[in-house]
Amino acid sequence: MLKSNKVLKMPDGFLWGTATAAHQVEGNNINSDWWQWEQKNVGKILDVKEKKFRNKKFEPSGLACDHYSRFEEDFKLIEELGNNAHRLSIEWARIEAEEGKLNLAELEHYRQVLESLKNKKIKVMLTLNHFTLPSWLADKGGWTNFKSPFYFNRYATFVAKNLGHLVDFWITINEPEIYMDMSYMSGFWPPQKKDIKLAGWVYFNMARAHKKVYKNIHKILDKKGHKTQVGFSMNVMSFASYRKHNFWELFFVHAADRIVNHSFYDLTKKSHDFLGVNYYFRVRLKKNEGSLIPAVDEVHEDESELSDMGWVVYSHGIFDVLMDFKDFNLPIYITENGIATEDEDQRAKFISNHLAEIHHAIQAGVDVRGYFYWSLLDNFEWDKSFGPKFGLVAVDRKKKTRKPKESFYAYQKICQTNTVRPVA
Ligand code: FCB
């Protein structure tokens, strides 16, 4: 664990950015499955995993942060932060609101968005699928549909052909394992299924889709001589046993690590130019002594520091997972890392200490090339609505005006100086 508070220098050319997702910030994503689901749940008390946000009436995304019309203003904030990169997503439900009809007006909108970043010399990391689907595809079973990789590839081809010259990095799919779990196993997110078989199909089809689109983007853009890099973002957790030598705890730690952190990569081998790592927390597993079959539970409550999501704050965990991924021999980008809190000191400390651990991993030989804080703005956090505050910038819920928080300036200092100082 890092204790010193000396100034640590990040490698030259390191990418500094923030990450967002279309549905969470743009507003009025009316042709998506999430929008449809939200309308059915307005004002309801949803079954939400995270304690602090339970028993609250669900508020739909609506205009969200109105980033769709205010992207210029938001990109000025990014410039002010001293960022040289930005991760955002393009919305499939806009580009292809109706099956097979590619929408030129929406394409033009995204052209303006990406050009605005390019004009500011900001590198673009574009996600093609960040949880949401066009409603027409959801009606056909979404990712459970055997043809879903074909549909995804059709949309991705259109985007790559028309906007590819404006994109530096592609994230095909964001967090396949989280999507599969939340939508098809634990059933919190649309279509709220709890069906292991369907979950398997989702994962399998997402892997097929990633591989197909990886090849295809290269085929389209390599021919044009445009250097491009394609990967996906995985949500990695730092797993640990509650007790050092407990056999079952260690067994489950290993199994969880293989399934959550490695399986999608294993299914899509040789189809990555880099690894996109989303890291938020550590999970400690404790044997459930009352259970007849070997089982473990997550230990949360006796951990020292939690975020508003109830996630365990553990900066050293990012070092652990990065060391694990070193063996993949691929460049790594931290495509998301952030904290939901209303305490600005806690957020600034979170960022500095995670970056110090990333620096530590780089010293140990891991090829980490960039960091994207989640998120630029306080936004629509899925089934938790606007409750969790992940943003560096507050957004007035009614007027949509932006106000940088203290952590905005703390992160700005890091990006502008390319250095970080861990906080005790
Ligand atoms: C990640 C998601 C992102 C956001 C953060 C808090 O798992 O990719 O959309 O919800 O968590």
Q: Please give the structure tokens belonging to residue 252.
A: 């489950």
Instruction: Return all residues near 192 (Cβ < 8 A) that are at least 6 apart.
Output: 183
Instruction: For ligand 1, pick from 24, 129, 189, 381 the residue to mutate: most ligand atoms within 8 Å of CB.
Output: 381
Q: What is the 3-state secondary structure (H, E, C) of the chain?
A: CCCCCCCEECCCCCEEEEECCHHHHCCCCCCEHHHHHHHHHCCCECCCCCHHHCCCECCCCCCCCCHHHHHHHHHHHHHHHCCCEEEEECCHHHHCCECCECCHHHHHHHHHHHHHHHHCCCEEEEEEECCCCEHHHHHCCHHHCCCHHHHHHHHHHHHHHHHHHHCCEEEEEECHHHHHHHHHHCCCCCCCCCCHHHHHHHHHHHHHHHHHHHHHHHHHHHHCCCCCEEEEEEEEEEEEECCCCCHHHHHHHHHHHHHHHHHHHHHCCCCCCCEEEEEEEEEEEEECCCCCCCCEEEECCCCCCECCCCCECCCHHHHHHHHHHHHHCCCEEEEEECCCCCCHHHHHHHHHHHHHHHHHHHHCCCCEEEEEEECCECCCCHHHCCCCCCCCEEECCCCCCEEECHHHHHHHHHHHHCEECCCC
Q: What residue owns the CA closest to ligand 1's atom 10?
A: 381
Distance 174 CA to ligand 1 centre (A): 9
What is the per-residue pLDDT for 217? Answer: 98
Amino acid at 134: P
Strand-pairing partners, residue 336, are 278
Query: How many CB atoms are located within 10 Å of the residue 111 CB?
Result: 13
Nearest atom in ligand 1 to the alpha carbon of residue 178 is 7
pLDDT of the chain, 424 residues: tens digit per residue: 555 678 999 999 999 999 999 999 999 999 999 999 999 999 999 999 898 999 999 999 999 999 999 999 999 999 999 999 999 999 999 999 999 999 999 999 999 999 999 999 999 999 999 999 999 999 999 999 999 999 999 999 999 999 999 999 999 999 999 999 999 999 999 999 999 999 999 999 999 999 999 999 999 999 999 999 999 999 999 999 999 999 999 999 999 999 999 999 999 999 999 999 999 999 999 999 999 898 999 887 666 799 999 999 999 999 999 999 999 999 999 999 999 999 999 999 999 999 999 999 999 999 999 999 999 999 999 999 999 999 999 999 999 999 999 999 999 999 999 999 999 8
Distance 390 CA to ligand 1 centre (A): 10
Ligand 1 contacts CB of residue 381 (under 6 A): yes
Nearest atom in ligand 1 to the alpha carbon of residue 175 is 8
What is the per-residue pLDDT for 343? Answer: 98
pTM of the predicted structure, to 2 decimals? 0.97
Distance 189 CA to ligand 1 centre (A): 13
